[in-house]
Amino acid sequence: MSTTHQRVALITGGNRGLGLQTAKELGSQGIILLIGARSLAKGEAAAKELRKDGFEAEAIRLEVTDPATHAKAYKHIESLYGRLDILVNNAGVEKEGVEFGTPGGFNTTSTVSQDVLKETFDINFFAVVALTQTLLPLIRKSSAGRIVNLSSILGSLTFHSDPSSPIYERKAFAYDATKTAINAFTVHLAAELRNTPIKVNSAHPGWVKTELGGSGASLDITEGGKTSAWLATLPDDGPTGGYFHLGQRLPW
């Protein structure tokens, strides 16, 4: 087991998009990067790219809906580092063409299928809870554990209830509901861990130009990892149980 004093971070879905950008943000701070990826080959390719940039990185095969890979990740991290300082729950899914395929506003509540609801919740919510619960004993061993749950402004019930809000006309029910549920998980877990050094927060990365966000998004990919990286490296007096974008609190 390593006795390194460097912080160790696991980023799920860290081989591309927001996850990879978050890894770069954390790597620039000297944090050891564990790149969780469904495909080990793709994870290793991303880790190789990160190492070329001077970061310390390795890939871990992690299928977030497969508890067996959660257990293997636990054993790997425990054997090498004995603890986990940062968990960024970044991996997720949107049903492009089912919920996000209608331009100029949409509401899928009356049409979204049970299959889409179940699949979206399995990946975006149940898998996040399961992985976090599995790895929490390792995070408890950190002197300053940080858990970042990737949410979205589309999970805000306050904004969805306000006809003047920027998201009012964009109601992709399955996706939005999973992010609202993630926010509930953040609040509840932060309350449970309030007397520990662990901080738990939800991050809205912004509308970012990624494969999921599309080319019409307002933020460049270089901005997309900033909120998650900030929450992953909060000081001891930083917030917990919050919902943030670029340092600003969002309404639940």
pLDDT tens, position by position, 21-36: 999 999 999 999 999 9
Question: Model confidence over 151-187: pLDDT tens digits?
Answer: 999 999 999 999 999 889 999 999 999 999 999 999 9
Domains detected in the chain: 8-246 (3.40.50.720)
pLDDT tens figures, 191-206: 999 999 999 999 999 8
Closest CA to 151 of 132, 176, 120: 176
Is residue 151 within 8 A of residue 202, CB to CB? The reply is yes
Whole-prediction pTM value?
0.93
DSSP classification of residue 219 = B
Residue 63 in contact with residue 33, Cβ under 8 Å? no
| 8 Å CB contact between 196 and 236 | no
Q: Does 243 have pLDDT greater than 90? A: yes
Q: What is the C-alpha separation between 179 and 154, in angstroms, rounded? A: 7
> Which residue, among 40, 41, 30, 10, has the nearest Cα to 228 in the 3D structure?
10
Q: What is the pLDDT of residue 214?
A: 39
